[in-house]
Amino acid sequence: LFTIIICAMALPKQVIVIPLAQEMTNFFHLNDTLWAVILPTVGWPFGVFLMKQFSETIPTEILEAARVDGAGELRTFITVVFPMIKPGIGALAIFTFVNTWNDYFLQLVMLTSRESWTLPLAIANLQGEMSTDFGLIMAGAALASIPIIIVFVAFQKYFTQGIAMGAVKG
C-alpha cells in the first residue's frame, strides 16, 4: 500500500486528467460541476499517507483497553480514535482545501461553462490578449485569498497540533 501511495503521489495530475474527466462525465455525470473538481481531491494520496502516519501514533494499549471495556469497533473509533486524530483531520482539511482551491489545471479541464467557473479561473480570464487591467486582477487575487484565510483561521488550532503530533512518533 505504501508503495502505491508513493507512486500515486509521484504522478503529475496531467497524466491522469483525461481518464479522470471521463470518469466524472461518464460514471458520475458530474460534467461541468464543482463536484468534478472537489471529489478527485478527497481521495488525495497525500491525505491517505498523512492520516496513516497520524493514526500510527495512537498507542495500541488504548485500543486494547477500549476492547476490554466492551467497546466495539465503531464505538472505539468514535469515542477513542476520532478525538485523537482530530488535529490530523484539521491539517488535512486545510491542505485539501488549499490544493483544491489552487488547482487551476483541473478546474480548467473540468469546468467548461462560465457559470461554473471558480474564482481562480475567472481571474485568469481577466488577462486579455491586447490589454490587461492589473488593478482588477489584483483585486480578484485579494478576493480569492479570503476563503483560504477563513479556512486556515477556522482550523488553525488543529493544523498546528496536527503538524506537531504527526512529526513526532513515540
Exposed/middle/buried for 1, CB within 10 Å: 0-12, 13-18, 19+?
exposed
Q: pLDDT per residue over 41-88, tens digit each? A: 877 888 888 888 888 888 899 999 999 999 999 999 999 999 988 888
Sequence-ordered list of residues with C-beta below 8 angstroms from that of 164, at least 6 positions apart, any chain: none
Is residue 63 within 8 A of residue 80, CB to CB? The reply is yes
Q: Which of 45-54, 96-105, 110-119 has the lowest mean pLDDT?
A: 45-54
Q: Which of 97-101, 142-146, 156-160 has the lowest mean pLDDT?
A: 156-160
pTM (2 decimals)? Answer: 0.77
Q: pLDDT per residue over 26-35, tens digit each? A: 988 998 999 9
Tell me if the domain spanning 2-7+17-167 has CATH number 1.10.3720.10.
Answer: yes
Question: What is the rounded radius of gyration, in angstroms, for the C-alpha atoms of the chain?
Answer: 20
Domain locations along the chain: 2-7+17-167
